[in-house]
């Protein structure tokens, strides 16, 4: 059904102007098109014009409700809103199929300009109403299936399921991502202030993060057994941490000595932004000199003093605390997790307004809901903490100009460069699986060792791989490049 407002001065050569309020329903074997002339904006049945006598006859059952508006007080603006609701309701009621009659699905097909199928819509009422839209790519492959008021499923070009997202407002919101083998790799569930995130690998749970309005918990699993458990308060401050398996052994292999050995290895927490930056510093002489001033062990070896000149802060981290946190914050060299633990102490401070005003805006302390957690951040933060200087970074998509500046920074022999990958994948845009195995995964920060005309050479602090990555792929799968000189 179409609702068109007609100018009373129109002639046979004038095209009526359509109103903003319009809807369409398939009525029997034809459409009803209703035009109306309105000089005073008051509802009058005489305002209505019909495209044909048949349309007038078909329309009458749908327009009975207008009787309550023809008192000389109501406007067409009010009536049209109600009209749309009533027409749709009456149409649905009048087109119900009796229980003993065969159900006939209704469908429509939309085409692209070059006559390819863009989407199909199917409505069936057998066993309850189901409305489903199938969206296709230009090559004919299935892209998305939208089950109205229930769920949306996205498919890769090869036909494998990529993700599932629930849309029913009466149930928890669920998002699931699958690998090309059909196994679940990521799942989130959100419901009335409660949130849970599950990460899986080869069908086994490797991490669970749960949060409600008052607390949060992160659990790391090894072969299905919970091995590292971190509890947080509602501001993200750690209230308890349990590591019964690895900490002491890791510390004994490399106790604090005042020197951060290269390369460092990231722990189980999301501190790639610190690991990438520190690794970059270990690549150059001035960077190593800077790191040698960061950690100052006590004479008896019971702890170390970590200094952040850019923040005007010092933190004494005791040996038991270092060993206890090595699995979580950094492995192999105890001086590095001591540095991360000190930065975590800073993150969890209640800073004064003067402190906040003196910090660059990218520090998460400016976000009260997220700033306490050390598990996510930017290399710009730790660079500022160590030097008091700010890093340059690309703005938007990485360009050749950005790469040239970063390359010049590295070739000066006195610069550090980091690169952050894309935040999110879609069913039409994924990092290749082989690249992920090397260490190029979403929402990750890597150290950059070299940039040439054809490649960006990266170092990943998790897999400990040196990755020679083609320039064009780098610009495609990396979102930001950070660079700065130490002098």
Report d(CA 220, CA 443) in Å as an integer: 19
- Span of 91-95, 125-129, 475-479 with lowest mean pLDDT: 91-95
Residue 277 has pLDDT above 90, yes or no: yes
The pLDDT of residue 39 is above 70: no
Beta bridge partners of 175: 165, 188
Which tops the pLDDT comparison, 415 or 37? 415
**Mean pLDDT on 100-111:** 60
Q: What is the pLDDT of residues 438-483, one digit of tens each?
A: 999 999 999 999 999 999 999 999 999 999 999 999 999 999 999 9
Can you tell me the distance from the alpha carbon of 49 to that of 3, in angstroms, rounded to the nearest whole number? 10
How much is the pLDDT for 273?
96
In the structure, how many helices (H) and strands (E) does the chain have? 12, 28
The SS3 assignment for 206 reads strand
Token pair for residue 422? 């894309």
Give me the pLDDT at residue 462, please: 94
Task: Look up tokens 């150290």; give the residue.
Answer: 447
Lookup: tokens for 114? 């070059």
Q: 């918990």: which residue's tokens?
A: 217
The pLDDT mean for the chain works out to 81
Quote the CA–CA distance of 4 and 23 in Å, as a whole number.
11
* Confidence at residue 249, expressed as pLDDT on a 0 to 100 scale: 67
Q: Of residues 90 and 198, which shows the higher confidence score?
A: 198
Structure pTM? Answer: 0.74
Cα-based torsion angle of the residue sequence 353, 215, 275, 485 in order, rounded to the nearest 10 degrees: -20
More confident residue, 286 or 237: 286
- What is the average per-residue pLDDT within 273-284? 96
Task: State pLDDT tens for residues 384-430.
Answer: 999 999 999 999 899 999 999 999 999 999 999 999 999 999 999 99
pLDDT given at position 23? 31
Residue 189's SS3 state is strand
Residue 313 has pLDDT above 90, yes or no: yes
pLDDT at 1: 37
Question: What class does CATH assign to 106-238?
Answer: alpha beta
**pLDDT, position 28:** 34
pLDDT score recorded for residue 7: 40
Query: Using CA of residue 164, residue 167, residue 168, residue 174, what is the dihedral sign?
Result: positive
Q: Does residue 6 register a pLDDT over 70?
A: no
Residue 80: is it exposed, middle or buried by C-beta count within 10 angstroms (0-12/13-18/19+)? buried
- Burial label for 67, CB within 10 Å (0-12, 13-18, 19+), is exposed
Quote the pLDDT of residue 349: 83
The whole-number pLDDT of residue 293 equals 93
Confidence of residue 105 (pLDDT cuts 50, 70, 90): low
pLDDT at 84 over 90: no
Per-residue pLDDT tens for 146-181?
887 789 999 999 999 999 999 888 889 999 999 998
What is the separation of C-alpha 403 from the centre of its chain, rounded to a whole number of angstroms? 26
pLDDT digits (tens, 9 = 90+) for 318-333: 998 888 888 889 887 8
In whole angstroms, give the CA distance from residue 406 to residue 374.
27
For residue 188, give both structure tokens: 């989130």
Alpha helix segments (H runs only) across 295-365: 319-329, 335-347, 353-358
Is the pLDDT confidence value at 358 over 70? yes
- Identify the CA nearest to 103 among candidates 111, 93, 95: 95
């Amino acid at each position: 059904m179409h609702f068109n407002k007609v100018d009373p001065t129109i002639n046979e050569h004038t095209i009526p102007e359509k109103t903003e309020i319009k809807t369409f329903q398939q009525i029997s074997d034809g459409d009803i098109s209703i035009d109306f002339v309105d000089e005073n904006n008051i509802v009058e049945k005489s305002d209505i014009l019909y495209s044909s006598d048949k349309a007038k006859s078909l329309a009458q059952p749908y327009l009975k409700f207008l009787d309550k508006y023809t008192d000389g007080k109501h406007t067409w603006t009010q009536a049209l809103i109600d009209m749309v609701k009533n027409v749709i309701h009456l149409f649905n009621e009048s087109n119900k199929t009796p229980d003993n009659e065969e159900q006939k699905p209704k469908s429509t097909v939309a085409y692209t300009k070059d006559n390819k199928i863009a989407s199909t819509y199917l409505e069936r009422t057998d066993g309850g109403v189901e409305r489903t839209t199938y969206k296709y790519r230009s090559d004919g492959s299935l892209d998305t299936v939208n089950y109205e008021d229930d769920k949306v499923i996205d498919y890769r070009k090869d036909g494998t399921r990529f993700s599932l997202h629930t849309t029913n407002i009466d149930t928890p919101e669920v998002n699931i991502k699958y690998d090309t083998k059909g196994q679940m790799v990521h799942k989130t569930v959100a419901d009335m202030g409660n949130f849970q995130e599950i990460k899986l690998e080869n069908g086994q749970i490797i991490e669970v993060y749960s949060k409600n309005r008052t607390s949060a918990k992160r659990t790391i699993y090894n072969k299905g057994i919970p091995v590292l458990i971190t509890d947080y308060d509602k501001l993200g401050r750690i209230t308890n941490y349990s590591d019964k398996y690895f900490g002491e052994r890791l510390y004994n292999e490399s106790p604090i000595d005042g020197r951060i050995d290269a390369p460092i290895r990231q722990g189980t927490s999301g501190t790639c932004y610190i690991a990438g930056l520190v690794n970059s510093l270990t690549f150059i002489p001035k960077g190593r000199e800077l790191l040698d001033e960061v950690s100052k062990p006590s004479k008896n070896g019971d702890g170390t003093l970590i200094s952040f000149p850019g923040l005007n802060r010092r933190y004494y981290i005791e040996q038991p605390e270092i060993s206890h946190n090595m699995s979580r914050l950094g492995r192999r060299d105890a001086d590095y997790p001591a540095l991360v633990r000190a930065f975590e102490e800073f993150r969890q401070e209640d800073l004064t307004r003067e402190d906040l005003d003196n910090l660059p805006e990218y520090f998460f302390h400016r976000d009260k809901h997220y700033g306490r957690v050390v598990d996510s951040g930017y290399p710009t933060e730790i660079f500022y903490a160590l030097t008091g200087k700010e890093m340059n970074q690309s703005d938007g998509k990485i360009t050749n100009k950005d790469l040239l500046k970063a390359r010049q920074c590295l070739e000066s022999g006195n610069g550090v460069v980091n690169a952050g990958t894309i935040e999110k994948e879609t069913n039409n845009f994924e990092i290749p699986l082989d690249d992920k195995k090397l260490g190029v995964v979403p929402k990750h920060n890597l150290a950059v060792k070299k940039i040439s005309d054809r490649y960006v050479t990266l170092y990943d602090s998790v897999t400990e791989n040196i990755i020679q990555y083609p320039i064009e792929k780098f610009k495609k799968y990396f979102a930001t490049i950070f660079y700065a000189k130490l002098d």
